[in-house]
Amino acid sequence: MNIDLSAEAIDYGVAALGAFASAGGDRIVEDAERDPRGRRAVVEPVLAELGAWELDPRGDADELEAAAALCRSAGYWAVPYPVAERLAGPKDLDVDGLVVVSDHDPAAPVADLDIRLATVTLSGRRSIALARPPERSPRTSGFVTGLVLDPLDDDGTADIALGLTLPIWTLLGMLDRAMELTRSHVLLREQFGRPLAKLQGVQFQLTDAEVERAGVEVLAKYALWSIESDHPEAVDDALALRLAAIEAADTVFRIAHQLHGATGFCDETRLSWLSRHSLPLRRLPLGLSATGEALTRNLGRRGLTGLFGGTAESTTTRESVAP
């Protein structure tokens, strides 16, 4: 079993990072909060130039890996656009994307975007969705708005694993950036005449955060491999990934904010934007407790298989993550 991404997918992700940087980088989300309707005109040309809409994540393993790498790059810049949801769109419906939603109060980060979405619940019920007008500003909502659903008479179980997994690759990109920002911060800031990075307590905190981030990366690759291999446990693996990713994000962002201090909550600091726009990914379609309940309900008395069935230990050492 090889869960590593192909060299081509990795190169594609690097190219996407550069493309988003050239399109404005951090300014993309800043401008989008001021002009939510204008973000489509900024982001979609970048995705088109990257050939994002030509990818077939459902039909080709290499293209699925490339789609995951693209989602990760979008997350790194907190791109305020449903990249993962667009890439997960089903081929049998005339829609622009797919969103996994809860049974109650379905919502998605698609406010002010004129796109046609399909939705699927964890029980496999599919619908065509219409986004409601947003009731809150992007700063407080993360572009999330409610959805009006028109149910379909078919089974969407095959959509669930991909619809759950690709957004976690976006969240992984956010965790990558949070760690990068925090390392840079503790290297630059001094306390008692020496960089914060030299303090043992800071090094231990960074290590805890990096172990969580690295663990999500391994599990995300495995969940992707499970989808590629058409495993019957792919939905279980995707739910287990989501559960681990939410827990990891809580740890990474908590430590990042602690080490940044009060400045981490100010918009002059990139971490503030990143953590704020990570919230929809961590809360939708289900938060931590509800995701755990859904996984438990799915598994019954079977238990998890593969990497999720045991304890996935990271080989990362304290020395390797200390700045």
- What does each of the 323 residues of the chain score in pLDDT, given as a tens digit? 778 899 999 999 999 999 999 999 999 999 999 999 999 999 999 999 999 999 999 989 999 999 999 999 999 999 999 999 999 999 999 999 999 999 999 999 999 998 999 999 999 999 999 999 998 999 999 999 999 999 999 999 999 999 999 999 999 999 999 999 999 998 887 666 678 777 888 899 999 999 999 999 999 999 999 999 999 899 999 999 999 999 999 999 999 999 988 776 777 789 999 999 999 999 999 999 999 999 999 887 677 776 655 433 333 333 334 45
Tokens standing for residue 233: 């446990």
For residue 172, the tally of other CB atoms under 10 A from its CB is: 26
* Cross-strand bridge partners of residue 128: 118, 150
What CA–CA distance (Å, rounded) separates 247 from 192? Answer: 33
Report pTM: 0.92
- Judged by phi (left if over 0) then psi (alpha if -120 to 50, else beta), residue 124 lies in left
- Can you list the domains of the chain with their CATH numbers? 159-321 (1.20.140.10)
Nearest-CA neighbor of 69 among 11, 152, 142? 11
Question: CB under 8 Å to 198, separation ≥6 — which residues?
Answer: none
